[in-house]
Chains A and B, each alone.
Chain A
Amino acid sequence: MTVLTADVAIIGGGLHGCSTALHLARAGATAIVIEKNHVGRHASGVNAGGVRTLARDEAEIPLALESLEMWHRIEDLVDDDCGFEAHGQVRVAETEQDMTTLRTREARLQSLGYTHERWIDPPELFERIPALARYCLGGLIAERDGAALPYRTTAAFRRKAEALGQRFIEGTRVLAVAQQGQDWRLETSVGKISAGSVVNCAGAWADRICAQVGEPVPLEAIAPMMMVTLRMPRFLSPVVIGTGRPLSFKQTTEGTVLIGGGRRARTDRDAETTELDFQELGASARMVRDLFPVMRGAVVNRGWAGIEARMPDDIPVIGPSLRAPRLFHQFGFSAHGFELAPVVGHVIADLVTRGASDSALEKFSIGRFASPTGSVRRL
């Protein structure tokens, strides 16, 4: 029976698992990442690649802003630019209601001391996004936001972590996790792993780890859908997101257009399958056609959906377990974890290696789902 040992066992080889492995290496701790498929197989490899501070839940803003600075220096961190480009993200107002929402938002953020989201009037909006339909009434822009390539990013974080000595085992499931004295013992499909600490980066399956240690969470497996077109001549620089109806819309460097926004496919997380809902994609297509008339002739070549974890309040679980020592949670990013991965890996590495983090994490505590009786409270 193989017994591997490391300072830290990381369950899940998505971008968050890879980021944590990398930051642990930089902090001098060894780690083994245990991945049941291959690194980047699920949400990490197939998301929209949005590097976005725009439209974040207030709780996430400090982390998102810190992470954005890391994205702007991502090549220093992982020796790869990850395809990151920063042409801004714009949240457009299609209706008066949208406009109210956005202006209220801007005022609210300003009152909290944040300046990263700025209202832009139609003249500036159409100068930045000439292809946008002229019925739009304005938008909020986050100028330093952008987009990157999800699979490439995940692979780059993995490669760098490995270069610094971390180990990755793929095609391996964690079957059981339990404390044994001062250590953690993980039973996996290829043998036992012994580690001082464990990080739960298991994405849409993370609730199972939580259940094993007696702190269940109301995690929902969702499958946000994406579509991509054939190449088109360049007509769009910033990423565009919707306000009143869901859309995420960007054009890649090679000219394909990625259409997302969170409409959901059906998913079976045990079979690891997703089934696209074409009527929902049809609604996306209608919205795209409204906002970007030039897309009438666009050709959709492929649709897909990644399996992701959603928490009822749409913010992640980040922080220590409240039931067992030296166990840390890093999951539930509710379809917007990509941008946060560089910083959250650092946060978790700090928690593991020095027991504290400079970031305020109370809002992300797993405790928010526990009720005094120990049963799961749904928000």
Chain B
Amino acid sequence: MFQRLSEAGPPTLPLTIDGNAALARPGDSVAATLIGAGHADCRTTPVSGSARGPYCLMGVCFDCLVEIDGRPNQQGCMIEVQAGMQIVRQQGSRPVDAEATR
């Protein structure tokens, strides 16, 4: 797993991961936050339901996809954490928002 160097400073940003309250370090990407919190996986694939986690952290592998504030398929490695952000690790392809059809 990964541990934090003291230089990094403390996590002070409140957000939620899968509905659970957590503190994140300002400036971290969503993917780094998940890794730092001990989550190796961030989703399951739509093809086979296999667990996946971030692989390249530079925006080219598309394995770090998570749902952020209700928007699915966001590259966690490309997005910086914000206070109050709701991060949800996603299962397969995302559910259709039935309300959107009205």
Where the two chains meet, the residues of A that have a C-beta atom closer than 8 Å to any C-beta of B are: 130-134, 230-233, 235, 254-255, 293-294, 296-297, 299
Contact = CB atoms under 8 A, between A and B. Distances in A.
B100 interface: yes
Nearest to A236: B96
Given A235-B96, A297-B71, A299-B73, A255 B101 contact: no
B46 A297 contact: no
List the 5 closest pairs (A to B, CB-CB), nearest first: A293-B100, A231-B46, A231-B93, A233-B93, A235-B96
- A interface majority secondary structure: loop
A165 B18 CA distance: 60
B36 interface: no
A232 B71 contact: no
17 contacts: A130-B101, A131-B96, A132-B101, A133-B101, A232-B93, A232-B96, A233-B95, A233-B96, A235-B96, A254-B47, A255-B46, A294-B97, A294-B100, A296-B100, A297-B73, A297-B94, A297-B97
A296 B73 CA distance: 13
A133 to B, nearest CB: 7
Nearest to B94: A233
Interface string B68-102: 00011100000000000000000011111100111
Contacts, number: 37
Contacts of B72: 297
Interface residues of B, number: 14
- B interface majority secondary structure: loop
A131 B101 contact: yes
Contacts of B100: 293-294, 296
Given A134-B102, A254-B47, A296-B100, 7 more contacts: A231-B93, A232-B96, A233-B96, A293-B100, A294-B96, A297-B72, A299-B73
Of the candidates A130, A235, A297, A299, the one having the most CB atoms from chain B within 10 angstroms of its own CB is A297
Contacts of B46: 231, 255
B94 A293 contact: no
A255 B88 CA distance: 21
Contacts of B96: 131, 232-233, 235, 294
A156 to B, nearest CB: 23
